[in-house]
Chains A and B, each alone.
Chain A
Amino acid sequence: MMVWDRMHSEKTKEERALRIFFSAFLLVFFFCLVCPGVSGSGVLRVFAAEGTVSFGPESYAWNIGEVNTLVVSFHGDTAVDRYAVCLEYDPAILEYLDGADRVDGRQIWLEGGGGEDSYERILMFRPRKSGNTQVKVVSASANGGQAPDGTDEGEELRMDGPEFISVAVQERGSRLSRLEIGFAEGMEEFSPDVLEYHMQVAYGVEWLPMEYEMEDEEAVVTVSGGNLKEGSNVVTLAVQKGNGDAVVYTLYVEREAAPAGMAEESIVGEGGSRTEGDTGAGQTESGAAGSQAEGGTGAAAGGNRADSGNTGIAGGSTGSGEGGISDGNADRTENAGGYGIPDGFFPGRTGKLALAAVFGVGTVAGILIFRYWRRRKRETGHRGQGSEPMKVINLDQTVIDVRHVTMNFRLAQDESSSLKEYLIKTLKGQNHYRVLSALKDVTFEVKQGEVLGIIGTNGSGKSTLLKIIAGALTPSKGKVVVDKSKVHMLTLGTGFDMELTARENVYLNGAIIGYTKEYLDEKFEDIVAFAELDGFMDERMKNFSSGMVSRLGFAIATMRDSPDILILDEVLSVGDMFFRKKSEQRIQEMIHSGATVLIVSHSSDFIRKNCDTVVWIEKGVMRMIGKPEEVCRAYGQMEK
Chain B
Amino acid sequence: MLKKRGRTEPGDDFLTEEKTATGDRLRQYVFVIRELTAREIKRKYARSYLGIVWSVLNPLLSMAVMSMIFSTIFKRNIENYPIYYLTGSIFWNLFTESTNAAMTALVDNKGMLVKVRLPMEIFPLSRCFTAMTNFGYSLVAYTVMLLVLRIPFTPYMLLLFFYAVLLFLFAVGVGYILSVFYTLFGDIKHLYSILLTLLMYASALFYPVESTSELMQKIIRANPVYNYIACARKCVLEAALPDMGQWVKLFVWSGGVFLFGKLYFHKMRNRVLQKV
Q: Determine whether A16 belongs to the interface, using a CB cutoff of 8 Å to chain B.
A: no
The answer to whether A497 and B43 touch (CB under 8 A), given A391-B4, A512-B35, is yes
Q: Determine whether B191 belongs to the interface, using a CB cutoff of 8 Å to chain A.
A: yes
With both chains docked as a complex, state the minimum distance between the C-beta of B205 and any C-beta of chain A, in angstroms: 28
Within 8 A of A (CB), among B115-149: 115-118
Interfacial chain B residues near A482, Cβ < 8 Å:
15
Q: Determine whether B218 belongs to the interface, using a CB cutoff of 8 Å to chain A.
A: no
With both chains docked as a complex, state the minimum distance between the C-beta of A249 and any C-beta of chain B, in angstroms: 12
Within 8 A of A (CB), among B12-28: 12-16, 18-20, 27-28
Expressed in whole angstroms, the Cα–Cα distance for A508 and B32 within the complex equals: 7
Q: Determine whether A507 belongs to the interface, using a CB cutoff of 8 Å to chain B.
A: yes
The answer to whether A210 and B7 touch (CB under 8 A), given A410-B274, A494-B111, A500-B43, is yes
Q: Which of B16, B18, B32, B273 contacts A473 (CB 8 A)?
A: B273
Within 8 A of B (CB), among A409-445: 409-410, 417-420, 422
Quick check: B11 and A401 within 8 Å, CB to CB?
yes
Quick check: A512 and B32 within 8 Å, CB to CB?
yes
Quick check: B11 and A497 within 8 Å, CB to CB?
no
- Contacts beyond the supplied A472-B114, A495-B39, A512-B118: 14 A-B pairs with Cβ under 8 Å: A209-B8, A211-B7, A226-B11, A374-B13, A396-B14, A401-B11, A401-B14, A500-B43, A500-B46, A504-B38, A504-B39, A508-B38, A511-B32, A514-B118
With both chains docked as a complex, state the minimum distance between the C-beta of A273 and any C-beta of chain B, in angstroms: 25
Q: Determine whether A368 belongs to the interface, using a CB cutoff of 8 Å to chain B.
A: no
Supply 10 A–B pairs (Cβ within 8 Å), ascending by A.
Answer: A207-B11, A212-B5, A213-B4, A410-B274, A419-B188, A470-B117, A483-B18, A497-B43, A516-B28, A516-B31
Quick check: B13 and A418 within 8 Å, CB to CB?
no
Q: Determine whether B1 belongs to the interface, using a CB cutoff of 8 Å to chain A.
A: yes
Quick check: A491 and B116 within 8 Å, CB to CB?
yes
Expressed in whole angstroms, the Cα–Cα distance for A495 and B111 within the complex equals: 8
With both chains docked as a complex, state the minimum distance between the C-beta of A390 and any C-beta of chain B, in angstroms: 7
Quick check: B274 and A473 within 8 Å, CB to CB?
yes
Main SS at interface, chain A: mixed
Interfacial chain B residues near A485, Cβ < 8 Å:
18-20
Quick check: B13 and A226 within 8 Å, CB to CB?
no
Task: Give chain B's interface residues, CB within 8 Å of chain A.
Answer: 1-16, 18-20, 27-28, 31-32, 34-36, 38-39, 42-43, 46-47, 109, 111-118, 185-188, 191, 270, 273-274
With both chains docked as a complex, state the minimum distance between the C-beta of A523 and any C-beta of chain B, in angstroms: 15
Expressed in whole angstroms, the Cα–Cα distance for A351 and B117 within the complex equals: 51
Q: Determine whether A608 belongs to the interface, using a CB cutoff of 8 Å to chain B.
A: no
With both chains docked as a complex, state the minimum distance between the C-beta of A434 and any C-beta of chain B, in angstroms: 13
Q: Which of B5, B9, B16, B46 contacts A318 (CB 8 A)?
A: B5
Closest 4 CB pairs of A and B: A393-B6, A499-B46, A511-B35, A419-B185
Expressed in whole angstroms, the Cα–Cα distance for A481 and B16 within the complex equals: 10
Expressed in whole angstroms, the Cα–Cα distance for A393 and B6 within the complex equals: 6
Quick check: B187 and A481 within 8 Å, CB to CB?
no
Expressed in whole angstroms, the Cα–Cα distance for A58 and B72 within the complex equals: 102
Binds B, one of A45-53, A117-125, A217-225: A217-225
Instruction: Kindly report which residue of chain B lies nearest to residue A398, judged by CB atoms.
Output: B14
* Most A Cβ at <10 Å: residue of B7, B19, B20: B7
Expressed in whole angstroms, the Cα–Cα distance for A157 and B15 within the complex equals: 63
Expressed in whole angstroms, the Cα–Cα distance for A152 and B43 within the complex equals: 78
* Most B Cβ at <10 Å: residue of A318, A324, A378, A508: A508
Q: Indicate with 1 or 0, residue by residue over A371-396, a CB within 8 angstroms of chain B CB atoms.
A: 00010001000000000001111011
Quick check: B114 and A473 within 8 Å, CB to CB?
yes
Expressed in whole angstroms, the Cα–Cα distance for A512 and B5 within the complex equals: 46
Interfacial chain B residues near A396, Cβ < 8 Å:
13-14
Interfacial chain A residues near B19, Cβ < 8 Å:
485
Within 8 A of B (CB), among A60-112: none
Interfacial chain A residues near B185, Cβ < 8 Å:
417-419, 422
Q: Which of B4, B5, B13, B191 contacts A378 (CB 8 A)?
A: B13
Interfacial chain A residues near B16, Cβ < 8 Å:
483
Quick check: A395 and B14 within 8 Å, CB to CB?
yes
Quick check: A472 and B4 within 8 Å, CB to CB?
no
With both chains docked as a complex, state the minimum distance between the C-beta of B56 and any C-beta of chain A, in angstroms: 20
Interfacial chain B residues near A367, Cβ < 8 Å:
none
Q: Which of A217, A219, A226, A513 contacts B116 (CB 8 A)?
A: A513
With both chains docked as a complex, state the minimum distance between the C-beta of A310 and any C-beta of chain B, in angstroms: 12
Quick check: A499 and B4 within 8 Å, CB to CB?
no
Interfacial chain A residues near B115, Cβ < 8 Å:
472, 489, 491, 494
Quick check: B10 and A227 within 8 Å, CB to CB?
yes
Q: Determine whether A399 belongs to the interface, using a CB cutoff of 8 Å to chain B.
A: yes
Q: Determine whether A621 belongs to the interface, using a CB cutoff of 8 Å to chain B.
A: no
Within 8 A of B (CB), among A216-266: 216-217, 219, 221, 223, 226-227
Interfacial chain A residues near B3, Cβ < 8 Å:
177, 213-214, 217
Q: Which of B11, B31, B117, B273 contacts A488 (CB 8 A)?
A: B117
Quick check: A215 and B1 within 8 Å, CB to CB?
yes
Within 8 A of B (CB), among A157-199: 177
Expressed in whole angstroms, the Cα–Cα distance for A494 and B187 within the complex equals: 27
Expressed in whole angstroms, the Cα–Cα distance for A396 and B9 within the complex equals: 10
Expressed in whole angstroms, the Cα–Cα distance for A482 and B36 within the complex equals: 29
Quick check: A399 and B14 within 8 Å, CB to CB?
yes
Within 8 A of B (CB), among A512-553: 512-514, 516-517, 540
Expressed in whole angstroms, the Cα–Cα distance for A495 and B14 within the complex equals: 34
Interfacial chain A residues near B47, Cβ < 8 Å:
499
Within 8 A of B (CB), among A458-509: 467, 470-474, 481-485, 487-489, 491, 494-495, 497, 499-500, 504, 507-508
Instruction: Kindly report which residue of chain A lies nearest to residue B113, judged by CB atoms.
Output: A472
Quick check: A393 and B4 within 8 Å, CB to CB?
yes
Q: Determine whether A321 belongs to the interface, using a CB cutoff of 8 Å to chain B.
A: yes
